A and B are shown apart, each in its own frame.
Chain A
């Protein structure tokens, strides 16, 4: 009996000592885990983007792209994010939707721009998607919904376009979990405030979509985003807590051009 406790301590401490010593080795660097993970996400992002290019009408208008990049750069530069890492694409479809993909791609539908009333509202949507990317929500969501094995084989080029379509469907039409959405909202408000963009614009865009839901095709931004009214209140509260010196984001000309382009694309649909 006397020897029992020292022997137990011996077993536990031997485990802890081995764990402690092994944890001093930088396995993340040795196994190149971050590099491998980034490369896999990049490959998956390229696969998904090429699928979108072949399936959807991509608006390749240099003025519109430049306007979207202006918003992106304003948010990124004010929040220590390299803007060149985020790739924004404009797709012609009447779906009121925007979503982030692996490889730091953000897809903005022309239907969503048509529903926005100001550049700040659009910036709110972009900031929300950048927040999902920064928090690594995109890959976590895919692992949960699609599975790591399928993602690995898709990134390795072993799966066909059917898998890419399935992954795209998950990204564009199902919501992140409640915690992820709230986290992204909170971070988006911070991003907008740091970039001198009115953070309440995100809440006003949510409100607008909340009013029109059911009347138009909104696959992800409303229909699957949980507890929208709670989120509107949370965003408003967070926005009020920030002292923001609002500075102009786009010229009227730039904004009108983007809106007109999106509206005409919307009408073509």
Chain B
């Protein structure tokens, strides 16, 4: 029996209940990114490296595990650029002659809002996948479908 189905738009969804170990690994991929975000800030590359290593370790896992590891990994890229800009802009303001501007404060606030949103949906994803449910985020879901094949 197929463990997944593809709808008319090409969106893949899982039709079977993953095993306990699959749900645990899929959930851990999100937890890993979440943990690394907290450890890695303000240097934004650490969370990406941690999630990448986790994905490498699970490259030969089941489709459900591989899909969610890649989903978690790709989502890290969304904030990588934002957090990198925040980091280097802040360094420039604190240590160099870049003026402290409303644009910089607004950028930091927007970055905080998006980081908090990312943390919230990552926790939600970790809980859902732990229960064996599928999560499918805007942009990163379809992108994962393209990269990870059954």
Contacts and interface: CB of A to CB of B under 8 A. Distances in A.
Chain B associates with chain A: yes
Interface of A: 1, 3-4, 7-8, 10-11, 15, 18-20, 22-28, 31, 33, 135-137, 140, 143-144, 148
A11 B94 contact: no
Nearest to A33: B100
A3 B9 contact: yes
Q: On chain B, which size bracket covers the interface?
A: 20 to 34
29 contacts: A1-B10, A1-B142, A4-B142, A4-B143, A4-B146, A7-B142, A10-B139, A11-B138, A11-B139, A15-B82, A15-B114, A19-B107, A20-B106, A22-B105, A23-B102, A23-B105, A23-B107, A26-B102, A27-B102, A28-B100, A28-B101, A28-B105, A31-B105, A33-B100, A136-B97, A140-B95, A140-B96, A143-B94, A143-B95
B31 to A, nearest CB: 23
Interface of B: 9-10, 78, 82, 94-97, 100-103, 105-107, 109-110, 113-114, 138-139, 142-143, 146
Nearest to A6: B139
Nearest to A5: B139
Contacts of B142: 1, 3-4, 7
Interface of A is mostly: helix
Contact of A22 (B106, B138, B139): B106
Nearest to A8: B139
Nearest to A144: B95
A10 B137 CA distance: 13
Nearest to A31: B105
A22 B94 contact: no
